[in-house]
Amino acid sequence: MNIPNSIREFHRAVRSIPGGVNSPVRAFKSVNADPIFISHAKGSQITDIDGNTYTDFVSSWGPLILGHAYQPVIKAIEEAASKGTSFGAPTVIESDLAELIKKMVPSIDTVRMVSSGTEATMSALRLARGFTGREMVVKFEGCYHGHSDSFLIKAGSGVITLGLPDSPGVTIGTAKDTLLARYNDLESVEKLFSKNGENIAAIIVEPVAGNMGVVLPGPGFLKGLRELSHKYGAVLIFDEVITGFRLARGGAQEYFDITPDLTTLGKIIGGGLPIGAYGGKKEIMEMLAPKGSVYQAGTLSGNPLSMAAGFTMLNELNENPEIYDELERKAAILERGIKDNLEKTGVKAVVNRAGSMMTLFFNEIEGVISSFEDAMQSDTEKYAGYFKLSLQNGIYLAPSQFECTFISRAHSEENISKAITANLEALQQLK
């Protein structure tokens, strides 16, 4: 694999962009490499500026559940763009997308569009605080909810990948209102509530964690959170920025049959364009300005290009629910293949999977990874080696142990079986 152009462009980028990237996880820092610059992509294949083509399992970190440059989405964007890119005034497609989201996620009575997942979670928290008149929030170690101050505490993903402590710049005043609990440990949540119950506005959780690598909720965990939030009058926020429209048409809340009060969305709902959204119970959502007093706004919110892309994408998912069976089937083949390879090679690792989200943890733990502490036991050096060998074999994975492999509809069975072969070769060389 030759990447002279990427190397040159990275040297150019670092002179004008901090670290050479506009989002830290894109740097290949934790796998001791320089990032590859992308030229174009189609379906499951992504091509760099040196002309190397890879099968992509990053899928833009989740949004591209139907693959790259999906034609109906591209066409919708082109049509929308030709009519103007932004008006700062209401458009019909905003209601079209809102209605579709409500239909697919029945816990959402009304939904507000924003421009990123970060904005969605940040605004949902402000709303929960306004609604309850309380200030504290319970979040889980290793869960990532975007980069707003309240959530940048044990925030998983990019933060742990880069070995950063909780971010400087977050004030002590803000940090003290964020209470940390352990994922899959209801007792740790109960303790926080028994001490601070009257001051806790919300519990926010990734119903399947995707930002410490994939970690599934254990039996009763989400239900327990639902019960605790009811008992203490706190708002339950499911951060479904990854899981929404990925695990099922109705997201993780449909998959596990637990209804949150508020849901945050992003990634898939923009069809690959910048977007976020949050919605839920009418009585809470009505507190938002202009109807209510909780303020939140956005010059480009409900942008017609994002709306057109998102609507086309969700419509496809809504009308073809068999997509989820197809994703499950393909992901299960990949999981089986990798597990067989682990057995064959004797490499110690754990595969965690929920639907089309999966992580191969280089970790000696038996069974599954069920907590942040377990995930942190992983051998990141080994992952770095695995990542590089995979790349040489034409497989583009997340440049971090603590991320998801995303399977899209565009992955053919041939792509999957090639990925299994590449995995075997990489594991054999890693031994």
306 forms part of the interface with ligand PLP (CB under 6 A): no
183 catalytic, yes or no? Answer: no
383 catalytic, yes or no? Answer: no
Give the residue closest to ligand PLP by C-beta.
117
267 catalytic, yes or no? Answer: yes
Q: Which two tokens stand for residue 362?
A: 């280089």
211 forms part of the interface with ligand PLP (CB under 6 A): yes
DSSP string for residues in 57-103: SSGGGTT-TT-BT-HHHHHHHHHHHHT-S--SS--HHHHHHHHHHHH
Burial readout 287-297 (b: 16 or more C-beta within 10 A, e: otherwise): ebeeeeebebe
As to burial, measured by CB atoms within 10 angstroms (0-12 exposed, 13-18 middle, 19+ buried), residue 259 is middle
Closest among 7, 90, 33 to 398, alpha carbons compared: 33
Q: Which is nearer to ligand PLP, 224 or 272 (CB)?
A: 272
Give min distance, CB of 63 to ligand PLP, in A: 9
Q: Which is nearer to ligand PLP, 118 or 352 (CB)?
A: 118
241 forms part of the interface with ligand PLP (CB under 6 A): yes
Residue 167's CB: how many other CB atoms inside 10 A? Answer: 13
Q: Which is nearer to ligand PLP, 1 or 297 (CB)?
A: 297
> Residues 54, 56, 70, 144: which is the catalytic one?
144
105 to 144, contacts with ligand PLP by CB under 6 A? 116-118, 121, 144
CA dist 201 and 186 (Å) reads: 18
Q: Which two tokens stand for residue 79?
A: 């049509």
> Residues 29, 154, 267, 281: which is the catalytic one?
267
Which stretch, 35-43, 52-60, 206-214, 422-430, contacts ligand PLP (CB under 6 A)? 206-214
Select the residue interacting with ligand PLP from 213, 217, 251, 276 (CB under 6 A). Answer: 276
Instruction: Indicate the angle between helix axes 380-392 and 413-430, nearest 10 degrees.
Output: 130
352 - beta bridge partners? 359
Q: Which is nearer to ligand PLP, 242 or 358 (CB)?
A: 242
Select the residue interacting with ligand PLP from 24, 67, 260, 266 (CB under 6 A). Answer: 266
Give min distance, CB of 107 to ligand PLP, in A: 17
CA dist 428 and 71 (Å) reads: 39
**What would the x/- binding string for ligand PLP be over residues 89 to 108, using CB under 6 A?**
--------------------
Q: Which is nearer to ligand PLP, 63 or 224 (CB)?
A: 63
| Pure H helices in 320-369 | 322-345
Q: Which two tokens stand for residue 334?
A: 């990949």
- Interface with ligand PLP by CB under 6 A: which residues? 116-118, 121, 144-146, 206, 210-211, 239, 241-242, 266, 276
Catalytic positions: 144, 239, 267
